[in-house]
A and B are shown apart, each in its own frame.
Chain A
Amino acid sequence: MLWALAVGCLAALVSACAQAPAAAVPLGHRSHRETRPAGVLGGIDRLRTLASTTPSNGDENPYAVLVAPVSAGVVAKGDVLVDNFNASSNKQGTGRTIVAVSPAGKTVLFATVPADLAGCPGGIGLTTAMAMLSTGWVIVGSTPSSGGTTATAGPGCLILISPSGKAVSTISGPDIDGPWDMATVDQGSTATLLLTNTLVGVKGPGQPVVDQGDLVRITLAVPSSGPPTVSAMTVIATGFPEHASASAFVIGPTGVSYVDGTAYVADPLANAVVAVPHALTRSSAATPGRVISRGHLLRHPLALVAGAHGELLLTNGLDGDIVELSTGGRQLGEVAVDPDPSQSPPGSGDLFGLALTPSGRSVYFAKDDTNTLGLLH
């Protein structure tokens, strides 16, 4: 009955909210070693549902989760930016909004990207690829589809959004094809984006797996005001498996994170995490890199973030768990944060983006099943 415990905790908080003082309830950790996990997850065991992530236009399916490093417009430093992949039609690849959730749980709309943005062929469907630079500019990926499946997908783009929430320009081209997740290295006047592409060679559902997903490094010049501009774009890893799915849209290289020169990529089809060394400097593409961890606690890894001490946290796509790894690939443990029995198997498809709080000791995560932002603390 672990699921009941975990699900219960989540709902308790909000409703509880008013009724039950004991809002947060400890939940169970799962570790095959029968011990509490080490690292970030080892110190936290309570769940809260912070807020709905659905804005007034009904967009849903929260994807990217990013803590704002600076204040910008309606966004205060420390707020959590969350974008939506679906419009209220429920079709994937049609969501156009980014909301900002305060740590206290208040949601405001930060940006609505126009549906017919020039330079972003195929429409708009915002993905897990999101960055916010120290200048307050937000960069977000779009992998659009008019019909909700890859059969009608466009290659997409990156959208540059001003600190006031206005979509100003786009980045597109042959090396942008299904931008799915992104890590950022912000160096002040320059920045580097590490972006996974997951539509390379992908057609409609029913197509066999293709091994063409890739990781692209995008170097930006960042002026003190105005949008950043692209200085260079290089494919640094390729050969990740991708599969079009009638229900899950596409399964391919997803979460990407950067630690000490190495990019780590969540590869759900291989059920693995892959390391791509020399990510900021390499000029050739790895194929796709070195598997540092596979199977065991991993169940279709999706988003991937790094902690302050090099811990890697990822969301499992198939069971609603957050898993922690070392950069050496050792699996440290997992916490069931959303094993919702309404899905089959329980928790399947419920998680996507996650982010560490500024303290590095708690985790924000998107709950696609309820369109809410959760906090594991």
Chain B
Amino acid sequence: MPQKEEPEGGAPGHGHGPWERVFSRRRFLAAAGGTAVGAGAMAVGLRLGSAAPQTLLGTGYRDGTEPFYGGHQGGILTPAQASTYFAVFDLTAERRSELVELLRVWTRAAARLSSGELAERDGLAGVKGHDSEEVVGLGPARLTLNFGFCPGVFEKDGHDRYGLRRHRPAALVDLPRFPGDQLTAQKTGGDLTVQACADDPYVAFHAVRQLARLGAGASQVRWVQAGFNETPASTGTARNLMGFKDGTINPRTQPQQRAYLWVGSEGPAWMRGGTYLVARRIRMSLEHWDSKTTAVQEQVIGRTKGSGAPLGRRGEFDALDLSAKGPSGNPVIPVDAHVRLSAPENNGGQMILRRSYAYNDGAADFAERWPPWQQALMYDAGHLFLAYQRDPRQGFIRIFRNLAENDAINQFTTHTGSAIAALPRAAGGAGGFVGQGLFGL
């Protein structure tokens, strides 16, 4: 796996824009002077006055940083942070040069934010403003920001608006409609994905909020989804809201990642070393799920709830025994169990890297999509499924085609949002920008 490189040229952000006092958010705390700083310090003082959160989470919980420049983009192999804020933007830029400038501004700002600084005041031409400062005192919190190019960058409603159509990777297909899809326009599509992950939801949201502000005029938010994880993360595989460990079978070794995660020589030069993201907002019918016994749940998933072990085995990482039969002659792992249908053994060996988050958007009126078609106020909660792969045609699409029609879990889950994007390598260093190779610059 290519190693991350250290940022070049010192702290990113120096010398850019009129606001050249580049404070780390920690140093900003101690500074005094000027109205803005005073206000910030006062806010922070209140926060520090209740020191319990810092104590509970351990000293330096939010001090960690993740590299931004070089290698693969962050937030893919990065150990999962506690929260995410995933946003998909529509491009309103009319010209290719405006798109390039947007990516430059976002890259520059993302580098600053990732290192724990506040964002620039000014963004694209005509954008004047200031950082919202709610993160003052919080530290970088291992913020990562990654950027993806959706099909709309290359072609929108039949128009090659940026002259990029011929550069669209073959693997960046439009996702087909799958049986059971109930995608809503409010949570689907878009042109550019931005995913912020951080150990503090304030930090993750702040980052996207700043990028949206700086990029106004060339982009606008189409949909967003906040997600959360165990906080702080426990060791081992995290559990999803169904209570089961999720992500046990992931490409963990470098050979697996080379084979199934990173784009190789089959892709265009600007995508080599990159990957493709499929994002799906999956609502879980938690009330329905909670009405089932653990035994039924385990049959649906194909794993033991407590240990995460495949049914019939002892350890979480034990290989699935897909041919094992129980005393009655039935398969130990039912033929429609989620783990069986999604297993590499049943999908030509294919793997996808799942790095998902739970989401919780309160409750709303729903009509269920299975008998008895209940209508009630129910949780709008579930899974922000984020899967990275070398080629979605061989990865998510191949695997999910099978699951969408046959997986027992479909009685408890509904896909309500969707996006697909090409994530190139990270920007090479200060002055560069993400996706630079796409533009021949």
Contact = CB atoms under 8 A, between A and B. Distances in A.
Interface string B70-101: 00000000000000000000000000000000
Contact of B179 (A11, A12, A54, A245): A54
B373 A4 contact: no
A349 interface: yes
A58 B177 CA distance: 9
A149 B341 contact: no
B65 interface: no
Contact of A8 (B288, B331, B367, B410): B331
Most buried by B among A11, A58, A61, A246: A11
A248 interface: yes
Contacts of B330: 1, 4-5, 8
Contacts of B328: 1, 5
A15 B406 contact: yes
B225 interface: no
Interface stretch (A209-217, A227-235, A337-345): A337-345
A19 B410 CA distance: 21
The majority secondary structure among interface residues of chain B is: loop
Interface in A196-237: none
A8 B371 contact: no
Most buried by A among B296, B328, B345, B375: B375
Given A148-B375, A149-B375, A247-B373, A341 B292 contact: yes
The majority secondary structure among interface residues of chain A is: loop
A7 interface: yes
Contacts of A61: 373
Interface string A350-377: 1000000000000000001111100000
A342 B370 contact: yes
B110 to A, nearest CB: 37
Interface in A17-61: 18-19, 49, 52, 54, 56, 58, 60-61
Given A4-B299, A247-B374, A343-B370, 16 more contacts: A1-B330, A8-B334, A10-B336, A15-B346, A19-B346, A86-B373, A90-B366, A91-B367, A149-B375, A247-B373, A342-B408, A348-B371, A349-B372, A349-B373, A371-B179, A371-B180
Interface of B: 177, 179-182, 288, 291-292, 296, 299-300, 326, 328, 330-331, 334-336, 341, 345-346, 366-375, 402, 405-406, 408, 410-412
24 contacts: A1-B326, A1-B330, A7-B336, A8-B330, A8-B331, A11-B336, A11-B408, A12-B335, A15-B335, A18-B346, A54-B180, A58-B181, A58-B182, A60-B369, A90-B368, A148-B373, A247-B372, A247-B373, A247-B374, A248-B372, A341-B292, A342-B411, A343-B372, A368-B370
Interface of A: 1, 4-5, 7-12, 14-16, 18-19, 49, 52, 54, 56, 58, 60-61, 86, 88-92, 148-149, 245-249, 340-344, 348-350, 368-372
